[in-house]
Amino acid sequence: MACAAELTIESEHLNAFWDSTLRRYDEIPLNLKREPAESPFPGVTVDKITYYGADDTPIHAWFIVPQQAVADGKRFPCIVTFPGYTDDRGYPERYASWLLLGYAVFAVDVRGQGGETGNYLPERAGSVKGWVSSNLLEPEGSYYFAITLDAVRAVDAAAAQPEVDPARIASVGGSQGGGLALISAALNRKVTAVVADIPNLCHMDHGVLNSGSSLSEIAQHLKRYPEQLEPILHTIAHFDMLNLASRMTAPVLMSVGWKDGVCLPETIYAVYNRIPTEKVIFDYPFSGHEINEYQNRERIYFLQKHFR
């Protein structure tokens, strides 16, 4: 019965929570800073961006654009991309395929994980190895709250760049990055297309019980503190795309691997079925937790269609 608590969170409460939060953060400056960075690519401008997300933590990102088109005053479609769990934004070369398509790229770190972005979030109680079990008893103080607002404000930071066409902004990622791509689009209407491969943040109560993802950290926490099950499920319900799918307005591309033991197929289908917008999902019966070359090409076709 406890695990049903997440699924039955009142939509009125959830919408009020997020509407109030987003109004409050609309009034908080991004404190954007932009400075040149090195790149081995000729003809490409790479800048390092910092902005403030959910708190005073400086969130680091790359902003990458083709140099000549910038000189011509052109505005670009922009890919806002998020990394998988424990990863970071990497080097600018990671995004060469998007640049070849003539897109700008805004590539973001996730706080506290593998990149150079730190985490000013105070720890109010102990947590298990990893990040996601931090402050699980309070929705607004949790690590999930912080990374969600960081992702939402990443879209704002990308849209604020003068080279970006604000009518063509896509949120893109896989695994953790896919979950952040979805939730940033659910909470920020500036996103006009979404690519969410093998995403997490989907049917999270089921994932806590069954997956080998970052949600297993919550399972370990609950193993130690079983009396906290109800409040923890209530907290993570605020970030579960199963509950936020109805807020989606942009077209969505998703993928799912039937042998994926990390982001489980049943969790991804549950969210996909609730998305009310134009959507397509690619099913890979023989794939695990991976994004194959076929799917990479489908991502290109999908964004070419919606950036046309």
pLDDT single digits (tens) 2-41: 444 444 578 899 999 999 999 999 999 999 999 999 888 8
pTM to 2 decimal places? 0.95
pLDDT single digits (tens) 42-91: 889 999 999 999 999 999 999 999 887 666 778 999 999 999 999 999 99
pLDDT for residue 96: 94
Average pLDDT over residues 99-107: 95
Query: Is 221 part of the annotated catalytic residue set?
Result: no
For the chain, helix (H) and strand (E) counts, in that order, are 11, 9
What CA–CA distance (Å, rounded) separates 218 from 131? 10
Residues 123 and 134: beta-carbon distance below 8 Å: yes
What CA–CA distance (Å, rounded) separates 38 from 36? 7
Q: Catalytic pick from 175, 216, 255, 287?
A: 175
Query: Is 260 part of the annotated catalytic residue set?
Result: yes
Binding residues: 85
Residues 255 and 281: beta-carbon distance below 8 Å: yes
Domains and CATH numbers, the chain: 2-306 (3.40.50.1820)
Side chain identity at residue 63, one-letter code? F
Query: Is 238 part of the annotated catalytic residue set?
Result: no
Q: Catalytic pick from 240, 260, 287, 306?
A: 260
Backbone angles phi, psi at 47, to 5 degrees: -120, 150
Least confident of 122-131, 217-226, 243-252: 122-131
Percent of the chain at pLDDT above 70? 96
Q: Catalytic pick from 60, 206, 289, 306?
A: 289
Binding residues for substrate: 85
